[in-house]
Structure 1
Amino acid sequence: MSDRSSEEELLEFLYACPVGLIECDSSGAIAMMNPHAMQHLLPLAGPRDPGNLFAALEHHAPELRSIVAAYAPATGRICDGHRIFVDLAARRRTTTPKVLACTLVKLGPDRLMATLSDISEQVAQEARLRQADTWFATLLDSVSHYAALTITPSGEIQSADACFARQTGHAAVDVIGRHLAEIGGSEPSGGDLRLDEQLLIAAREGWHLQEGWQQRADGERYWCQRLVVARSERGEPRASGFSVILRDVPRRGEAAEDMRRLLNHDHLTGAANRRHFGEVLKREQRHWRELRQSLSLIVLDLDHFKAVNDTHGHPVGDTLLRRVTDVCTALLPPCGIFARLGGEEFGVLLPRYDEDQAAALAEAMRAAIAGIAVDTPRGGLHVTASLGCATLNETDGSIDALLALADDRLYAAKHAGRNRVRSRETATA
């Protein structure tokens, strides 16, 4: 029989466990956590309450509180390996962004157990495998699965094979001389490059590969990989035309689309989540380096939102966050991304928007938010927001500097009295 007490053995287990363990109540108040959990949680809490799980993770995983609130059974697994993306952008391009996996188990009506583990390398490996899988599929699939055509430097179709007709529903003879962008009905949403921008990169780099929605002749949408390869006459330095390969990727069914939405969107509001926002921001940074097209960022923070939760409760606060998302996304251009970055903070990414366009949109969002009214037992509730605008040109292409500059202007708006927009023009006025 062991001379040690069960309590000593339990403490030894908690200290030695390579996974962060946290016990808390349904409001997030922590009763116990091991050192490994402290190593993960304390750096993320910042000025927030490190003694409350939801408060500590509010900036990085604001959806956890609503996920727990929505779980009705008395006991059971609430979520398994829910991913928390800590960094919007790595401080150095060689740095792997940190990702935590969180599992929550409901042990009783007011008792939760949470685990936290670092899966950063696993996520990076998954991304590498997905990229490799795309290329291997391209090499191994039959050539008959691809539509092949040639286009002029300006995008007019010169020739198309029989597979093009089968894939798109357009007869090859009917599309000769027409512009490829008109035939494909491509949608440059979410910051995808337009055809002329793809041709520019392919002419410079030799090729360009992009995925996006295309449209068949009958109006059906399908997910398509488009490879553009530059062609040039012997001895000519400039591209004399392009070969284009279109591949119908049958992976975007309804179930796959639902999964994509779960991975890319905030559980509570339906806005894009922090992870997806960071991915699009990195992609747009690459586009900025290649094309120097405008890229603007708006960050907005609701004024005095903590008082809303304290006075009216989190359900009313959640309703308000959803209303803010609704009115802002209604104003969003097709290529824009509206994301919940944490708590009451949101980000708006605007490819091809210059600083004047971004400032005008920010002002429209400010006015729309100020017009929201939520009915509560205490009467009508109104809220305002402070907003900061910045462009990637101002930071010479640095994501970290872009985020910091937009944040600085956001807090300048708060210090100036809240319910206002600050951009480069107003900051220097």
Structure 2
Amino acid sequence: MSDRSSEEELLEFLYACPVGLIECDAAGEIGMINPHAMQHLLPLAGASGASNLFSALQQHAPELRSVVSAFTAPIGRICDGHRIFVDLGVGRRTSAPKVLTCTIVKLGPDRLMATLTDVSQQIVQEQRLRQADTWFATLLDGVHDYATLEITPDGKIASANACFTRQTGFNHLEVTGQDLAKVLRTEETGGDLRLEEQFEIAGSDGWHLQEGWQQRAGGEPYWCQRLVVARSTGDGTMPTGFSVVLRDVPRREEAGADLQRLLTRDPLTGSANRRHFSQSMEQEQTRWREFRQSLSLIVLDLDHFKVVNDTHGHPIGDLLLCSVATACAGLLPPRGIFARLGGEEFGVILPRYDREQALDLAEEMRKAIAALVVQSPGGIVKATASFGCATLDEAEGSIDDLLALADTRLYAAKRDGRNRVHQVEGRAA
């Protein structure tokens, strides 16, 4: 039997409880308060201190005192989830204000128990869902050439418009009640997010937009822009359904150069630039945290590239860089990103590729580079490259550690003789 007293056990519970707990009398004088409640009250109380619940919340929730006074029953719940909007950064706020909910229960004639909970993130989520719902309804007012579907929370098609038939070939009346994933046959190779993952992101952020290959009823592939919007009818944070808009669009790379391309592409090779590479890594890191799917990185560096520039001139060196970029980009999976990181160094982001797949692709790229032939006035120019591969799992989710690990393996490949992919322990060369 435990020799600990009930008082000790109660104190341990109050200290560990993740919700702010306060015991006070009918006038608000606090008799007991746990650490979480103290963290909420102290910043609000100011000079008045946190000895009285109503005084501490006077500036932000002055109505609480009268709400308690008006409750005449001997015991019972006085208020439940009463929202207290707190703005601690007036005039300099850079984020959403803090929001607390307060629940007060009357335990006896002069005894109250109150809880304080921070629901700031929940409020932000509710606002996102309402904004997405309003925005989507406004968008559809003038839409006639977009296929639209209403989807139930369990992923079934509740309704579809006539444009869905024209775009996909599926009868918009006959698909009602079917699973959306079975009707929208998408191409998922190379790491494209599955439909259920797109819905999960939409449920969290309010909406999600993605482009990719999709099949019509007859099996013909087409490039489709898919917008998933979470719908909400109440104040809850969980969506009550989804709306999906499908648009048949030309491939982005076939639409011509635009501002986006200028901002994301290396002007010499046409590969992604370092800025776009960094932004993409951060986006994929977020998806890795949410879905824990494989994410691999390849870094490669051309061997003795300075000799090419010094012997044949920079124009030939530039031509060789462009040839390398073209050869490697042609081996990428659909969501892979090939980027020029600087000089003769390149990086490859591979969503949903594990270590073995990344090593295999790196070997294909190595062979493709070694097979290149560039003609110059001084003769034939050839090149080789050294490779290092790493996964975000190995780096425990850190982008900096991922880059450092891949670089370490790249330079190990150079030390071992160049023109090779560094083989990590546990894999045969």
Tell me if TM exceeds 0.5.
yes
Offset at 1:354?
0.2
What secondary structure sits across from 2:363 in the alignment?
A: helix
Identity of aligned residues (%): 51
Distance across 1 between alignment mates of 2:136 and 2:286:
23
**Is the CA contact 1:390–1:423 (under 8 Å) kept in the aligned structure 2?**
no
Residue correspondence of structure 1 range 399-418 to structure 2 within 5 A:
399-418=399-418
Q: Which runs of 5+ in 2 are unaligned?
A: 1-93, 95-130
Residue correspondence of structure 1 range 49-64 to structure 2 within 5 A:
none
Residue correspondence of structure 1 range 85-100 to structure 2 within 5 A:
none
Distance across 1 between alignment mates of 2:190 and 2:311:
37
**Is the CA contact 2:201–2:208 (under 8 Å) kept in the aligned structure 1?**
no
Aligned to 1:292: 292
Q: Assess, with a 3 A threshold, how the Cα gap between structure 1 residues 216 and 143 changes in structure 2: closer, same or farther.
A: farther
Offset at 1:161?
3.9
Bigger radius of gyration among the two: 2
Distance across 1 between alignment mates of 2:332 and 2:250:
28
The answer to whether 1:212 aligns with 2:211 is yes
Deviates more, 1:167-176 or 1:315-324: 167-176
Residue correspondence of structure 1 range 295-374 to structure 2 within 5 A:
295-374=295-374
Deviates more, 1:351-360 or 1:213-222: 213-222
**What one-letter code is carried by the residue in structure 1 that aligns with 2:339?**
A
Aligned to 2:245: 246
Aligned to 2:27: none
Distance across 2 between alignment mates of 1:213 and 1:148:
18
**What one-letter code is carried by the residue in structure 1 that aligns with 2:349?**
L
Distance across 2 between alignment mates of 1:424 and 1:344:
23
Residue correspondence of structure 1 range 162-311 to structure 2 within 5 A:
162=162, 164-165=164-165, 170-176=170-176, 178-181=178-181, 183-184=183-184, 186=186, 192-201=192-201, 205=204, 208-213=207-212, 224-229=225-230, 242-246=241-245, 248=247, 257-259=256-258, 260-311=260-311
What secondary structure sits across from 1:141 in the alignment?
A: helix
Offset at 1:157?
2.9
What secondary structure sits across from 2:267 in the alignment?
A: coil
Distance across 1 between alignment mates of 2:428 and 2:401:
18
Q: Assess, with a 3 A threshold, how the Cα gap between structure 1 residues 249 and 221 changes in structure 2: closer, same or farther.
A: closer
Distance across 1 between alignment mates of 2:296 and 2:316:
31
Residue correspondence of structure 1 range 100-139 to structure 2 within 5 A:
138=136
**Is the CA contact 1:184–1:214 (under 8 Å) kept in the aligned structure 2?**
no
**What one-letter code is carried by the residue in structure 2 that aligns with 1:224?**
Q
**Is the CA contact 1:298–1:387 (under 8 Å) kept in the aligned structure 2?**
yes
What secondary structure sits across from 1:258 in the alignment?
A: coil
Q: Deviations over 1:160-201 (max 9, x none)?
A: 245645665643124335553465465558854221322455
Offset at 1:312?
0.3
What secondary structure sits across from 1:425 in the alignment?
A: coil
Deviates more, 1:265-274 or 1:401-410: 265-274
Distance across 2 between alignment mates of 1:254 and 1:401:
32
The answer to whether 1:141 aligns with 2:139 is yes
Distance across 2 between alignment mates of 1:136 and 1:279:
29
Offset at 1:359?
0.7
**Is the CA contact 1:191–1:335 (under 8 Å) kept in the aligned structure 2?**
yes
**What one-letter code is carried by the residue in structure 1 that aligns with 2:266?**
D
Q: Assess, with a 3 A threshold, how the Cα gap between structure 1 residues 318 and 137 changes in structure 2: closer, same or farther.
A: farther
Aligned to 2:151: 150
Distance across 1 between alignment mates of 2:137 and 2:278:
30
Deviates more, 1:316-325 or 1:345-354: 316-325
**Is the CA contact 1:169–1:216 (under 8 Å) kept in the aligned structure 2?**
no
What secondary structure sits across from 1:173 in the alignment?
A: coil
Distance across 2 between alignment mates of 1:175 and 1:257:
36
What secondary structure sits across from 2:405 in the alignment?
A: helix
**What one-letter code is carried by the residue in structure 1 that aligns with 2:377?**
P
**What one-letter code is carried by the residue in structure 2 that aligns with 1:370?**
A
Offset at 1:243?
2.2
Q: Which runs of 5+ in 1 are unaligned?
A: 1-93, 95-132
Residue correspondence of structure 1 range 14-33 to structure 2 within 5 A:
none
**What one-letter code is carried by the residue in structure 1 that aligns with 2:139?**
D
Distance across 2 between alignment mates of 1:202 and 1:255:
28
Q: Deviations over 1:303-346 (max 9, x none)?
A: 01011001100111111111111221221112211111111111
Larger relative contact order (CA 8 Å, sep ≥ 6)? 1
Q: Assess, with a 3 A threshold, how the Cα gap between structure 1 residues 221 and 144 changes in structure 2: closer, same or farther.
A: farther
Q: Deviations over 1:104-158 (max 9, x none)?
A: xxxxxxxxxxxxxxxxxxxxxxxxxxxxx999964743445372322573x4534
**Is the CA contact 2:198–2:228 (under 8 Å) kept in the aligned structure 1?**
no
Deviates more, 1:383-392 or 1:249-258: 249-258
Offset at 1:295?
0.2
**What one-letter code is carried by the residue in structure 2 that aligns with 1:245?**
V
What secondary structure sits across from 2:367 in the alignment?
A: helix
Distance across 1 between alignment mates of 2:223 and 2:370:
39
Q: Assess, with a 3 A threshold, how the Cα gap between structure 1 residues 253 and 367 changes in structure 2: closer, same or farther.
A: closer
Distance across 2 between alignment mates of 1:357 and 1:253:
27
**Is the CA contact 1:388–1:408 (under 8 Å) kept in the aligned structure 2?**
yes
Alignment coverage as a number of residue pairs: 293
Offset at 1:211?
3.0
Distance across 1 between alignment mates of 2:265 and 2:132:
24
